[in-house]
Amino acid sequence: MTRSTRLLSLLQILRSHRRPVAGRTLAEELGISLRTLYRDIAALQAEGAEIEGEPGFGYVLRPGYMLPPLMFSSDEIEALVLGMRLVANRTDPQLALAARDALSKIDAVLPADLRTRMAASPLLAGGKPGLPEDRVDLALLRKAMHAEQPLKIAYRDDKGSASERVIWPFALAFFDGARVLLAWCTLRNDFRHFRTDRMEILEQGRDRYPRRRTQLLKEWRQKTGIADRLF
């Protein structure tokens, strides 16, 4: 393991813990001596990482510290490129532009070798041919979710039956065949999924719905049994 890889691994371990971790535990997980661990922590602190602690107490990384792009591995760079390309090709114009801008910012601060790797990435992401056209602005849906504001919508199901609903949107899923809004439906008093090509926004509420968006997502996951890694 190279020193740069070891330092990155140390940061990742610290980021996964909210409470102080004993130096001996960190050293054992990295396969290094305590003396080397102390040198690595000092090196990271000198680079701006807000690591607090001392021998005998343990170490913790203060929340909010972001890894600089130059510490990304080659595989992480390719994962970022592919993810951004997927966003640019599968989402609304506003989010697509944000993805392209993010790639430009990452490219601007990468070391030369990783910048070359990023430009030459063989992982491409094309648009989905035949994807149904949305009848609603996805940017408005994202805005409503972040603001936790209810929506009154007109919806037509797969059988053609039309209805009006008041919903509390909490997530937007992107599939190959459709985009699906996850929401609490006040009409059914339960979770429901709405395809964005079958819905129209009639009205957006001004007040927040009574349950937090993160809580709704948690309850939905518990009810459906779908793991975090899938949504």
Residues contacting residue 107 through CB under 8 Å, at least 6 positions apart: 115, 118, 119
Q: Are 186 and 167 in contact (CB under 8 A)?
A: yes
Torsion of CA 83, 87, 90, 96, to 10 degrees: -160
pLDDT at residue 103, as a whole number: 83
> Pick from 42, 16, 43, 47: which is nearest to 29 by CA?
16
State pTM to two decimals: 0.64
Q: Which helix (H) or strand (E) holds 79?
A: helix 74-90
Q: Average pLDDT, stretch 91-106?
A: 85
**229: pLDDT confidence band, cut at 50, 70 and 90?**
very low
- Nearest-angstrom CA–CA distance, 199 and 215: 24
Say whether pLDDT at 169 is over 90. yes
Beta strands in the chain (DSSP E): 51-54, 58-61, 151-156, 162-174, 179-185, 190-195, 199-204
pLDDT at residue 64, as a whole number: 65
Q: Calculate the average pLDDT of the chain.
A: 85
Q: Are 197 and 178 in contact (CB under 8 A)?
A: yes
pLDDT at residue 108, as a whole number: 75
Span between the terminal Cα atoms of the chain, in Å: 33
**1: pLDDT confidence band, cut at 50, 70 and 90?**
low
**77: pLDDT confidence band, cut at 50, 70 and 90?**
confident
